[in-house]
């Protein structure tokens, strides 16, 4: 593609210089046409590069899951280092709400881990001493001490990045066919240009017209549309899929999706979005749903737990007036406690109900 268009631009440039210097006829002055051709080519490649840059941003979003800094334990001291400087065997401290900097094994502590970036499941998973954790996951409610077992390219997150990169670099069947066709079209176009020069310059005796016709053949026969369209479309499709949480391992598989009539999902009963959402609020007698949600959102405002974020987000979506909370504290496996408008508010799960000697409301399924 580039060779044909380069030949056309070169011939037009030489002809235009010759016309400007008076060596060739004035009708061979193609400066405006040449400028327009260059602008069109550059615009097409700019659009291509912009789309590819957006595709690469999917890899950047995966890399952004890692924390910018890690707290490594050196004896009794805590040293802040870049995650890339961690080595197998190092012990790092992950604070509540912090991300795991590398794959490892918990040596002290227990926490509810948000592993949605790996599993897609919005529900947190309880991890304790001896359990393995993956880089990029988040300790939502408690601190952990983790012994690093894998770093850099050996982590699970790096493996996911490799899958996306391989999908971007792989070629689909249609793309391979287009590349083959573009290769043959180049030789046909080059042969047609040579025949045009010989026919108009030698046989018909019109060398000036030979230049015009040759440039026309090279520009028209250039397979840019054929060579750029398919890779561009596949790159955009891969990028949009990655943004939607779908990692394409092979572009051949992406191309064959047009023939799929049914999809089987290997999930534990449901398909999830990777984040919890408040669907229903059932207040006890004497309270409205909005009042309960506003109090819960106030108490959960400072919490990093995914369920807390869902409650706060739901209150915002309903445009509720969320009061300011004070004396916030969090207890692993129980929940949070805060003072809201002079009242003590606790938000948690079954363990909190048991501690408060309360029973869960009997709510009919809707």
Active-site residue, selected from the candidate residues 68, 266, 290, 321? 266
Indicate the SS3 state at residue 205: coil
**Is the CB of residue 109 less than 8 Å from the CB of residue 143?**
yes
d(CA 351, CA 344): 18
d(CA 210, CA 222): 18
- CA distance to 5, 27, 128, 200, 245, per residue, from 13 (Å): 12, 13, 71, 20, 48
User: Which ranges in the chain belong to alpha helices (H)?
Assistant: 2-20, 31-63, 116-119, 156-169, 173-197, 207-220, 224-243, 251-256, 289-300, 306-317, 350-355
327 flagged as catalytic: no
User: Which ranges in 221-288 belong to alpha helices (H)?
Assistant: 224-243, 251-256
286: burial class by Cβ within 10 Å (0-12, 13-18, 19+)?
exposed
* Residue 335 φ then ψ, to 5°: 150, -150
d(CA 197, CA 143): 77
Residue 185 gets the label, from left (phi > 0), alpha (psi -120 to 50) or beta, of alpha
Token match 């059932």: residue?
282
267: burial class by Cβ within 10 Å (0-12, 13-18, 19+)?
exposed
Q: How many CA atoms lie within 13 A of 324 on its CB side?
A: 1
d(CA 77, CA 63): 28
Catalytic positions, please? 266
């Amino acid at each position: 593609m580039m060779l044909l268009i380069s030949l056309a631009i070169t011939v037009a440039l030489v002809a235009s210089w010759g016309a400007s210097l008076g060596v060739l006829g004035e009708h061979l002055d193609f400066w405006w046409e040449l400028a327009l051709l260059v602008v069109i080519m550059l615009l097409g490649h700019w659009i291509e590069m912009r789309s590819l840059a957006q595709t690469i941003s999917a890899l950047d979003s995966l890399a952004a899951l890692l924390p910018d800094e890690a707290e490594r334990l050196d004896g009794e001291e805590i040293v802040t280092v870049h995650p890339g400087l961690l080595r197998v065997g190092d012990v790092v401290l992950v604070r509540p709400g912090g991300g795991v900097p590398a794959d490892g094994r918990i040596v002290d502590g227990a926490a509810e881990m948000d592993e949605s970036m790996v599993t897609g499941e919005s529900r947190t998973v309880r991890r304790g001493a001896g359990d393995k954790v993956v880089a990029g996951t988040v300790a939502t409610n408690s601190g952990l001490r983790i012994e690093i077992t894998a770093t850099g390219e050996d982590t699970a997150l790096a493996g996911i990045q490799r899958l996306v990169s391989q999908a971007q670099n792989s070629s689909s069947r249609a793309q391979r066919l287009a590349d083959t066709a573009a290769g043959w079209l180049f030789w046909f176009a080059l042969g047609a240009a040579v025949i045009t020069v010989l026919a108009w310059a030698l046989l018909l005796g019109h060398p000036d017209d030979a230049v015009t016709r040759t440039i026309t053949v090279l520009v028209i026969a250039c397979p840019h549309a054929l060579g750029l369209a398919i890779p561009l479309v596949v790159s955009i499709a891969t990028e949009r899929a990655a943004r939607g949480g779908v990692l394409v391992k092979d572009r051949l598989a992406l191309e064959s999706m047009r023939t799929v009539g049914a999809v089987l999902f290997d999930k534990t009963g449901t398909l999830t979005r990777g984040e919890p959402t408040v669907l229903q609020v059932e207040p006890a007698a004497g309270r409205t749903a909005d009042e309960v949600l506003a109090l819960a959102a106030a108490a959960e405002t400072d919490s990093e737990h995914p369920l807390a974020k869902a409650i706060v987000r739901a209150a915002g979506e309903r445009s509720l007036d969320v009061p300011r909370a004070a004396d916030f504290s969090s207890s692993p496996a129980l929940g949070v406690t805060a003072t809201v408008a002079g009242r003590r508010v606790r938000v948690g799960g079954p363990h909190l109900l048991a501690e408060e000697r309360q029973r869960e409301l009997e709510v009919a399924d809707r």
